[in-house]
């Protein structure tokens, strides 16, 4: 399970989500005209991470046929040691359930 989650995070470029967090926090601060409180911050962080990770996963799955025909994309993927495949449903369901649990705990 842990190795499948690690593969998924590499698949969706989770590091790019971490890179985008300061921009989300800056936008939050501007929109709230100051500090909105820890509860709001945690909800925004959870929403941002979950939404972006899900969107990147969807995008990678949808684009897999195009990436397979694109020699440059294929070379880059193979050079990074990434195996192009659709992730098992149980991994995606467990990640969704974890996100739901986190969300319910923050409300």
Q: DSSP per residue over 52-76, as a string?
A: HHHHHHHHHHHHHHHHHH-HHHHHH
Helix (H, G, I), strand (E, B) or coil at 35: coil
List, in order, residues 6 or more apart from 62 with CB less than 8 Å away. Answer: none
Q: What is the mean pLDDT of residues 20-39?
A: 91
Tokens of 100: 């739901």
**Among 36-40, 44-48, 80-84, whose mean pLDDT is lowest?**
80-84
pLDDT confidence of residue 77: 67
Contact 87, 11 (CB under 8 A): yes
């Amino acid at each position: 399970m842990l190795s499948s989650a690690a593969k998924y995070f590499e698949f969706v470029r989770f590091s790019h989500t971490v890179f985008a967090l300061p921009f989300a926090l800056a936008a939050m601060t501007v929109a709230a005209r100051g500090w909105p409180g820890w509860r709001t911050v945690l909800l925004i962080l959870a929403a941002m991470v979950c939404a972006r990770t899900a969107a990147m996963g969807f995008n990678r799955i949808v684009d897999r046929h195009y990436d397979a025909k694109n020699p440059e994309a294929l070379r880059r993927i193979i050079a990074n040691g990434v195996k192009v495949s659709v992730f098992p449903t149980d991994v995606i369901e467990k990640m969704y359930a974890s996100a739901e649990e986190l969300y319910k705990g923050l409300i």
